[in-house]
Amino acid sequence: MKQLLVLLLMLVTMTAAAETPEEKGLRIAQEADAYDTGFTDFTADMLMTLRNKKGDESIREIRVRTLEVEGDGDKSLSIFDRPRDVKGTAMLTYTHGLKPDDQWLYLPALKRVKRINSRNKSGPFMGSEFAYEDLGSQEIEKYTYKFLRDEACGDLQCYVIEQYPAYKYSGYTRRVVWVDKEFYRPMKVVFYDRKNELLKTLTNSGYQQYLDHYWRADKMDMENHQTGKSTTLSWSNYQFKTGLTDRDFIKSKLKNYK
Amino acid sequence: MIKGLTIIGLTLAVCAGTPASGSDWSGYISGEYRYFSHDPLYPEQRIQYWSLATQPEYYREWEGGDQSFTFTPFARWDRFDERRSHWDIRELNGYWNLDDWQLVAGVSRVFWGVTESNHLIDIINQTDTLEGVDGEEKLGQPMVHGTWTQDWGALDLFLLLGFRERTFTGESGRIRSPLVVDVDNPIYESPRENKHIDYAVRWSNSYDIWDIGVYYFYGTSRDPRLEPGVNDEGEAVLIPHYDIIGQLGLDAQVFLGNWTLKLEALDQRRREEKYAAAVAGFEYTFVGVLESQVDIGTLVEYSHDTRGNASTSPFANDIFLGMRLTPNDAQSTELIVGLVYDLDYDGEVYRIEASRRLFSSWKISFEAQTYSGIDQRDPLLYPVRDDDFLQLDIAWYF
């Protein structure tokens, strides 16, 4: 009996040891994804503050609506309220895993819906330090993973995981992500550019829990170390399970979101 | 127009019953300066012009946006060009979202098309040519417009209630023909004249990397034939003739990596005649050139019209080469430069458009156009060969 127990213990230890850093990284990403699954949809207001090296600020106000899509990337709609000259502009995105997103932009001055060639997601969103690829839904297959270490992050304990974009035309060679062990919330992300040089750091703070389960950060600070510019996203009015459907995310409705 | 307004009245009456969940005014006020670098060809014209314009918009929504009301008047006052001082109701409509159906009733605007140089298939709204040479500014059109969305795409059904005549520059304005257009005495093929009810049906859908749309329009042509005549004062003028047409239109786009291929084509029956026209081309985008955030797009488009020299369009047999510069900066700077080369007459038209946000709610726009090697036989461009201009526009958005 005692021998059996020792054998079992040995087996458990061996299985654990057999998990490579790559497997552990993937497992944590899968657990994080599973934790956030089932939010169905949400709406929120985003205030984006852009800061240049001199500290001059400019703002954008955007209303965001997102629909969870099972087996594919989410559908999202962004409606611009400020700056005033782009008021009424709306962007519809069907995010996908490895294949390029489908994206349409409605330009109110011309009443024109323009499909955007979205193969390359490395470009900046609205002149900010956030690239399109930073804001799209984070599907598991978009990256390969490697667990680096356990580390304290503020008062919390974090997994530190390295992620390598699996889709083409990313602006990064890798991202290093700190996720807290209890709720898999990304606390910090460090981005390395195509030359593998330090590019940006994203710090998330003010996490709030919605529907007693889903966590969203109130504040996201992105600092570009190469240009000295930074962008802060402040989120408010988060509402989950609002009853949005596929019919709310169609091209022909873009001109009626104001 | 009257019918359209009646519908608006009804819309308002229905909407007024329920409490609004949001309402607001927005829009712009702008000042524009135009400088023509050559002396005018016709006596009443000038070298410099300036004008003021405004386009406020009132928007109110109910039921979280499932019902809304929009009112967008537009007005321009031009210091020297009397006819360019004009106003219009760009939008005055009610909108209902009924799950699979969306309904718009009232004055509205609709744009169709994919190419940059030639807006060939766009037909629902009349062009406000007083507002710009690119034909992108449109007059409000009274309509009932239903959109039915299903898995196989979107079906748009239009009843166009009443016709809007094209605007034309007056005697004191530039970029015009030697004879001015007599906008007071148009000739219609339909005995119902500008009360003819037009209709249009369009199907469109996206399949993976493809976007496609097909439509049929039956009604009064937006694009008049201009025939020499005499006005009420006995002066020689051009008389616009608005024929009844049937038009089949197609637009398609395909996205292949950094390439976008574009096509617009139409087939039109006008009186006993029949003609076809098309514009096809591509846009190739260099993303993040030289490790920067700047995107550069290169555009090539070819336009053809089977009417050849008899075409009412300046794009009968023309090549457009263009470049779009998008720095993706905080001020949303945009720059597009282009050249249209006429393969029939060898003439060239160069054009620059640029804009940039200033502070938080101002925008400055610059536009310039210049003509080179315009042939005497070119019926559309020879009369405007000396109308090279620079234009500066500063707008405040509220």
Question: How many Å from the N-terminal Cα to the C-terminal Cα in chain B?
Answer: 29
Model confidence pLDDT, tens digit, residues B102-132: 999 999 999 999 999 999 999 999 999 999 8
Residue range A154-172: mean pLDDT, rounded: 93
What pLDDT, on the 0 to 100 scale, is given for residue A16? Answer: 58
Interchain contact, A85 vs B395, CB within 8 Å = yes
**How far B279 CA sits from the closest chain A CA (Å)?**
17
Reported as type and span, the H/E element at residue B256 is: strand B244-256
- For A96, which residue in chain B has the nearest alpha carbon? B208
What pLDDT, on the 0 to 100 scale, is given for residue B101? Answer: 94
Considering only CB atoms, A123 lies closest to which of B100, B293, B360, namely B293
Has residue B292 got a pLDDT over 50?
Answer: yes
Interchain contact, A85 vs B70, CB within 8 Å = no
B132 SS3 class: coil
Q: How many helices (H) and strands (E) does chain B have?
A: 1, 21
B residues 189..228 contacting A (CB < 8 A):
206, 211
Model confidence pLDDT, tens digit, residues B11-37: 554 444 454 456 689 999 999 999 999
pLDDT band, residue B218 (cuts 50/70/90): very high
What pLDDT, on the 0 to 100 scale, is given for residue A1? Answer: 57
Contact B98, B109 (CB under 8 A): no
**pLDDT > 90 in chain A, percent:** 74
**How far A210 CA sits from the closest chain B CA (Å)?**
22
What pLDDT, on the 0 to 100 scale, is given for residue B172? Answer: 93
What pLDDT, on the 0 to 100 scale, is given for residue A90? Answer: 95
A59 CB neighbours in chain B (<8 A) are 360
Interchain contact, A127 vs B288, CB within 8 Å = no
- For B329, which residue in chain A has the nearest alpha carbon? A127
Residue range B30-51: mean pLDDT, rounded: 95
What pLDDT, on the 0 to 100 scale, is given for residue B163? Answer: 96
Q: How many domains does chain B have?
A: 1
Q: List the single range of A38-47, A192-201, B65-74, B303-312 with lowest mean pLDDT.
A: B303-312
CATH code of the domain in which B38 resides = 2.40.160.100
Mean pLDDT of all residues in chain A? 91
Interchain contact, B295 vs A257, CB within 8 Å = no
The residue of A85, A86, A120, A126 whose CB has the most chain B CBs within 10 angstroms, and thus the best one to mutate to test that interface, is: A85
Has residue B203 got a pLDDT over 90?
Answer: yes
ipTM of the complex: 0.88
Q: How many CB pairs under 8 A join A and B?
A: 100
Q: List the single range of A54-58, A139-143, B5-9, B230-234 with lowest mean pLDDT.
A: B5-9
- For B331, which residue in chain A has the nearest alpha carbon? A127
Stated length of chain A: 258
What pLDDT, on the 0 to 100 scale, is given for residue B8? Answer: 52
Shortest CA distance to B40 belongs to which of B182, B180, B131, B173?
B173
Interchain contact, B59 vs A85, CB within 8 Å = no
Has residue A220 got a pLDDT over 80?
Answer: yes
What pLDDT, on the 0 to 100 scale, is given for residue A121? Answer: 81
B156 CB neighbours in chain A (<8 A) are 252
Model confidence pLDDT, tens digit, residues B323-333: 999 999 999 99
- The string of DSSP codes covering B15-32 is HTTS--SEEEEEEEEEEE
Cβ of residue A86 closer than 8 Å to a chain B Cβ: yes
Model confidence pLDDT, tens digit, residues B375-388: 998 888 999 999 99
Interchain contact, A247 vs B260, CB within 8 Å = no
- For B286, which residue in chain A has the nearest alpha carbon? A120
What pLDDT, on the 0 to 100 scale, is given for residue A17? Answer: 61
Tokens coding B241: 């003739």
Model confidence pLDDT, tens digit, residues B66-93: 999 999 999 999 999 999 999 999 999 9
Cβ of residue A50 closer than 8 Å to a chain B Cβ: yes
Q: How far is CA B330 from CA A48, A56, B82, B135, B396, in A?
A: 11, 11, 39, 29, 17
A120 CB neighbours in chain B (<8 A) are 258, 285, 287-288
**Domain A21-256 CATH assignment equals 2.50.20.10:** yes
pLDDT band, residue B257 (cuts 50/70/90): confident
Q: Fill in the DSSP letter of residue A15.
A: H
Cβ of residue B23 closer than 8 Å to a chain A Cβ: no
Has residue B10 got a pLDDT over 60?
Answer: no
CA angle B33, B120, B73 (to 5 degrees): 45
Tokens coding B324: 């779009």
pLDDT band, residue A12 (cuts 50/70/90): low
Return the domain boundaries, chain A.
21-256
Q: Which structural domain, as residue segments, surrounds residue B370?
A: 2-397
Model confidence pLDDT, tens digit, residues A29-87: 999 999 999 999 999 999 999 999 998 999 999 999 999 998 888 999 999 999 999 99
